[in-house]
């Protein structure tokens, strides 16, 4: 605030992101590991520019792709993933891109440009663990089925293209070792069944961050911490002697802890013997993940003493707009600031403009925080409309 920030705002920093990646990089993955920044997790141009000398970027849309080019990434430093890329990729393609095909239809549609632009290509596989955990009759909509892999390989070979990478992404906040292992076993199986020998195996992200907890209070990384994750990757490549590099596209694990959301208390209500803090930011506008995650929250001003059950509400006309309910000091008053931690992953991606504009964003990479996005004004938002 001393630097002039106006709530609600996010403050993001490079150092926690870097520390998380360094911790991962020290682990033994069985092969040299290459880390890709997951663009969708944190669509923050300042972060993308800061990361560029350190590694490549993984994108899944035209916006992310063009943003990556603008941030200075060369085509071979951009890994294009995601479904239905035939809608947008031909319009912006470059020579030498790295692209993972997601379906046979998409592959067919993109083959001419893949050949013309000499893309380095791979295939995403859907493994048996990628089903809706509440209704396993429904599969996740990403990747090729194992029986489609030989068809895809043959189509690529027919065009002189070699599928150099095999990609999976085995859910997010991966719950346990067994699920991860079952997914990776499917990778080995498809290679055995088809004789495919990809040079790179991209095991996606999925690793939970250390801070956030589930709504029942359990830490997401209880089931599969970084060490066990790396051990499973080692086990995988020990059965794939031909693999030269392991690719990792961690999103939430390195990013979550690199951000804080700051909101200000505007009003305080006592209802049914409990306290409701009405704030200028909250779940609907800035923190969708609070639907399923509990994050640490503290008061910037020094407020001690008795605590009472308190709900932290956002400013929109939805009871749903609740960052969290917990014991907080009864001395919190209008004008105080609340810090919602671990706001560095999937917060910008899920921001809404529900009755209000987008928030201010600050970035720190050494040398002090600077404002990299001003709060959206009415005039700017109104200018969109014809």
Ligand X SMILES: Cc1ncc(COP(=O)(O)O)c(C=O)c1O
Interacting residue ranges for ligand X, rule: CB under 6 A = 38, 41, 58, 81, 169, 172, 204-207, 249-253
Residue closest to ligand X (Cβ)? 205
Q: What angle do CA 230, 232, 237 make, to 5 degrees?
A: 95
Shortest spacing between CB 344 and ligand X, in angstroms: 11
Q: In the complex with ligand X, which residue's Cβ is closer, 9 or 36?
A: 36
| Main-chain dihedrals φ then ψ at residue 177, nearest 5 degrees | -65, -40
> Would you say 10 or 36 has its CB closer to ligand X?
36
Compare residues 64 and 336 and give the one whose CB is closer to ligand X. 64
φ, ψ of residue 372 to 5 degrees: the values are -110, -5
For ligand X, which is the closer residue by CB, 289 or 311?
289
Nearest to 255 by CA among 110, 113, 43: 43
Q: Looking at beta carbons only, is 18 or 376 nearer to ligand X?
A: 18
As measured in angstroms, the least distance from the Cβ of 204 to ligand X is 5
CA distances from 114 to 36, 149, 161, 266, 375 (A): 22, 18, 8, 54, 41
The span from the CA of 93 to the CA of 117, in Å, is 8
Unique residue bearing structure tokens 């804080």: 260
Q: What is the DSSP letter of 57?
A: E
Q: How far is the CB of 172 from ligand X (least distance, A)?
A: 3
Indicate the residue among 85 and 253 with the shorter CB distance to ligand X. Answer: 253
Cα separation of 265 and 295, whole Å? 18
Q: At closest approach, how far in Å is the CB of 126 from ligand X? A: 12
Report in angstroms how near the CB of residue 37 gets to ligand X at its nearest.
10
Nearer to ligand X, 6 or 172 (CB): 172
Encode 264-288: b = buried (16+ Cβ within 10 Å), e = exposed. bbeeeeeeeeebbbbbbbbbbbbbb
**Shortest spacing between CB 186 and ligand X, in angstroms:** 16
How far, CA to CA in Å, does 280 sit from each of 10, 302, 307, 335? 13, 20, 22, 10
CB 116 within 8 A of CB 98: no
User: Measured from the CB of residue 207, what is the shortest distance to ligand X in angstroms?
Assistant: 6
């Amino acid at each position: 605030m001393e630097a002039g920030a106006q709530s609600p705002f996010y403050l993001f920093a490079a150092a926690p992101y870097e520390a998380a990646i360094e911790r991962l990089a020290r682990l033994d993955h069985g092969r040299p590991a290459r880390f890709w920044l997951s663009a969708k997790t944190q669509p923050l141009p300042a972060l993308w520019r800061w990361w560029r000398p350190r590694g490549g970027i993984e994108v899944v849309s035209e916006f992310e792709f063009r943003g990556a080019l603008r941030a200075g990434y060369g085509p071979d430093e951009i890994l294009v993933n995601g479904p239905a890329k035939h809608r947008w990729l031909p319009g912006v393609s470059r020579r030498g891109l790295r692209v993972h095909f997601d379906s046979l239809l998409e592959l067919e549609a993109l083959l001419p440009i893949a050949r013309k632009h000499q893309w380095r290509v791979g295939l995403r596989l859907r493994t048996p663990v990628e089903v809706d955990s509440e209704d396993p009759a429904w599969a996740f909509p990403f990747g090729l089925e194992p029986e489609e892999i030989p068809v895809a390989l043959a189509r690529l070979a027919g065009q002189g293209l070699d599928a150099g990478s095999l990609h999976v992404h085995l859910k997010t906040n991966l719950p346990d070792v067994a699920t991860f292992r079952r997914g990776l076993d499917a990778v080995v199986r498809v290679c055995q069944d088809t004789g495919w020998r990809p040079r790179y195996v991209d095991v996606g992200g999925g690793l939970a961050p250390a801070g956030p907890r589930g709504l029942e209070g359990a830490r997401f990384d209880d089931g599969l911490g970084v060490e066990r994750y790396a051990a499973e990757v080692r086990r995988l490549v020990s059965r794939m002697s031909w693999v030269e590099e392991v690719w990792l596209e961690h999103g939430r694990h390195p990013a979550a802890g690199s951000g804080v959301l700051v909101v200000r208390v505007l009003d305080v209500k006592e209802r049914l013997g409990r306290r409701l803090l009405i704030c200028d930011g909250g779940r609907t506008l800035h923190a969708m993940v609070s639907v399923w995650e509990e994050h640490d929250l503290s008061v910037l001003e020094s407020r001690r003493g008795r605590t009472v059950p308190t709900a932290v509400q956002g400013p929109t006309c939805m009871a749903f707009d609740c960052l969290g309910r917990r014991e907080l000091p009864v001395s919190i008053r209008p004008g105080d600031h609340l810090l919602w931690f671990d706001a560095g992953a999937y917060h910008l991606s899920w921001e809404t403009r529900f009755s209000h504009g987008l928030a201010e964003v600050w970035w720190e990479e050494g040398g002090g925080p600077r404002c990299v996005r001003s709060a959206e004004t009415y005039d700017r938002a109104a200018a969109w409309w014809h």
